[in-house]
A = this chain, B = another copy of it.
Amino acid sequence: MFHFLQKHIQEIINPTDDEFEIIQSFFVKKKFRKRQFLIQEHQPVHEIFLIEKGILKSSIIDSSGKEHILQFAASNWWISDFAGFFKQETSSLAVDCIEDSEVYALSYEDLNLLCRKVPVMEHFFRVKSNFGYVALQQRILSLMSKTAKERYEDFIKQYPGFTDHIPKQLIASYLGVSRETLSRLYS
């Protein structure tokens, strides 16, 4: 059952069997249906989620009611409102499922306790946080300085194989373009 979790962690560190017993005891497996919310806006953010199956997104609704998508995530990715989680404030983002999904949830208290009990996990989460930062930096530079066509190419590169699974309307919202502009980029 926890084979997926073990493999994911072993991409970065190599815990002993005893350490892995402790690690897996902190994670809670959860299933969500398509369109179900893991995090809703303006609520406390209790958990971060490692995705085993499915596709999810994080997004914000602006004052005019329009949805802006920050990130998509699929198997082997983490998702949450990390700002709300790390600052232990209420969420700015919503996180919901584009497909039925299975995730491993880790609470804020458990993340910190786990790092104290199994110190190699501190290294694991530092590296993960660094790469999360890298992904956001690329997203921000893309938004600030690139054309719609270049942003679409970045999307294809960052999310290989996602295009078939994500409704075009959501891809348009991620790119910040209209559905019509997106159609032109496809051709």
Contacts and interface: CB of A to CB of B under 8 A. Distances in A.
A137 B132 CA distance: 10
A83 B138 contact: yes
How many of these chains are in the complex?
2
Interface in A124-145: 125-126, 129-134, 136-141, 143-145
A185 B59 CA distance: 27
B136 A137 contact: yes
Interface stretch (A19-27, A28-36, A115-123, A163-171): A115-123
Contact of A137 (B82, B119, B146): B82
A177 interface: no
Interface of A: 60, 62, 66, 68, 70, 82-83, 86-87, 92-93, 115, 119, 122-123, 125-126, 129-134, 136-141, 143-146, 176
A119 to B, nearest CB: 6
A114 to B, nearest CB: 12
Given A82-B130, A129-B130, A140 B140 contact: yes
A82 B133 contact: yes
Q: Is the interface of A mostly helix, strand, loop or mixed?
A: helix
A86 B133 contact: yes
Contacts of A70: 137, 140-141, 144
A141 B82 contact: no
A70 B140 CA distance: 8
Nearest to A127: B86
Given A93-B141, A129-B129, 17 more contacts: A60-B141, A60-B144, A62-B144, A62-B145, A70-B140, A70-B141, A82-B134, A83-B133, A83-B137, A92-B137, A92-B141, A115-B126, A126-B126, A132-B133, A133-B133, A139-B140, A144-B176
